[in-house]
A and B are shown apart, each in its own frame.
Chain A
């Protein structure tokens, strides 16, 4: 019991921040991470649009799952990550603009991302059916997944944050 207690303390110390994490520290950290979140969303959506443009099969998924709201293409190449995309957002005005834009499109982006995940699962489930034509569970699961994909795609297309 003593050893496990010591181990737990050692584990917690590994990730222990300085002893006193004050309100100001957390508030500042929150601001940084909120800005970071906005940058990641901006990059993430831009990356998805840029990468999917080059994949003919993904274009179909994009067409099915894309938000009705236009996504401004990023000037950064898809694989550059958040660093260059974040360059414009490092000023306070830039961060404010990015956060406002992303807040408006955030929920619908989320809906469309989930829709894409659901339709990806539909592909995977229905891909099992040809190997199990005699087992009704597979077709039933495929039918459910197809219905979910259709509904989620409609939700994505019809999404509005206003």
Chain B
């Protein structure tokens, strides 16, 4: 199975995946704030920072959606590259959801770069650095979530591009474990 055919079906899944879970995380971020207001869960220290971040990202993602609908891949990649320059609020300020939103944005950028390697070309090593930058140092301490799982899987694809199949296998296995957890949680929701 070639990477290009994998990327095509992965791309279609990514479109629906991204749309759905971006909405879920945005909704979850606001729900988190509301529940915090109700005193039911520990709030992010500065919930307004999370809300503002989510709003900013929603606008940018919509812009990227529009650019992609116009097949403006360089523009879409440039827009997502712009998000690398912002000062992402940390978990201690905006909670875990901020890290998840970062993983989503970086995941979208890496996916686009892998699917359009000739646009503002980057070496596999540079893509690896991009993934590392997006994941951060302590992503493993995050609660299991779809954004992190996707970025970890993309780390595997980048490792394959570098010819490091061992690292690719490790990353894919890690992403699979995360998705297994997500599935168990989704199925457990049936009993509630």
Instruction: List residues of chain A with CB under 8 Å of any chain B CB.
Output: 8, 10-12, 14-17, 21, 23, 26-27, 29-30, 33-34, 36-41, 43-45, 47-48, 51-52, 55, 57-58, 61, 78-83, 107, 109-111, 113-118, 120-128, 131-132, 137-138, 141, 144-145, 148, 152, 155, 159-161
Contacts and interface: CB of A to CB of B under 8 A. Distances in A.
Where chain A touches its partner, the secondary structure class is: helix
Where chain B touches its partner, the secondary structure class is: helix
Given A11-B89, A27-B34, 4 more contacts: A15-B52, A79-B69, A109-B20, A113-B17
Given A40-B20, A107-B190, A141 B37 contact: no
A98 B23 CA distance: 14
A16 B176 contact: no
B114 interface: no
Contacts of A17: 48-49, 51-52
A121 B176 contact: yes
Interface residues of B, number: 68
Contacts, number: 198
Nearest to B88: A11
A111 B30 CA distance: 23
Find the residue from A37, A82, A118 having the highest chain B CB count within 10 A: A37
Given A30-B34, A58-B9, A141 B153 contact: no
Contacts of B17: 44, 113, 116-117
